[in-house]
Chains A and B, each alone.
Chain A
Amino acid sequence: MTAFAFIAATVFGTVARDTAKDRVLYGLKVFAEFMVIGLALGWVLYFLPF
């Protein structure tokens, strides 16, 4: 999941913004979102019995 988040965030950050600083910040934001949402969903699904 971390590798997937890193690769996807790298591409998203590279194509989505205009300045280098914005790209890095956006990439970090996307990476954090992938990780947090992935972990949160993992715990939610863990408690579902079906």
Chain B
Amino acid sequence: MTQNEIGPGIQAWIMGTAGWIIPGAGHMLQGKWLRGIILGAAVWICFVAGLSMGGHLFSVSGGDTSLSTLLQVPPTIANLGSGILYLVCWFLGFGFADDPTHAALATYEYGNTFLLIAGLLNYLAMLDAFDISAGRKP
């Protein structure tokens, strides 16, 4: 029975999780230093740029059950892809402000887009780390 038939091992899941929590870590733990630094830097720069442009992070609050809450789910999933960057901001309550002052910034929507893309790109990096560890990619 080959590796592909029995599925990826626990190590692949660990690498994928590490790559999600700390962008770039999934590759670095496997000795792919350059790839990890490039991917990690891209995600970190994208996230910091988004915050500095005045973008805001999405979250789903449990109290509200209206349709608008459902619309918050996809961007929240995208933001969650940033891993520890999102979690630290969440713990510190930083970057979640969605007031008229923020929305009036010319770069507000650009910032939102950068924050969303940072998370989505990290999902790609995370899957790449998973595939490398599972032996599906060199």
Contact = CB atoms under 8 A, between A and B. Distances in A.
Interface of A: 3-4, 7-8, 10-12, 14-15, 18
Contact of B45 (A7, A12, A15): A7
Contacts of B18: none
| B interface secondary structure, majority | helix
A41 to B, nearest CB: 15
A8 B121 contact: yes
B117 A8 contact: yes
A14 B117 contact: no
Interface residues of B, number: 18
11 contacts: A7-B42, A7-B46, A10-B38, A10-B42, A11-B39, A11-B121, A11-B125, A14-B35, A14-B38, A14-B39, A14-B128
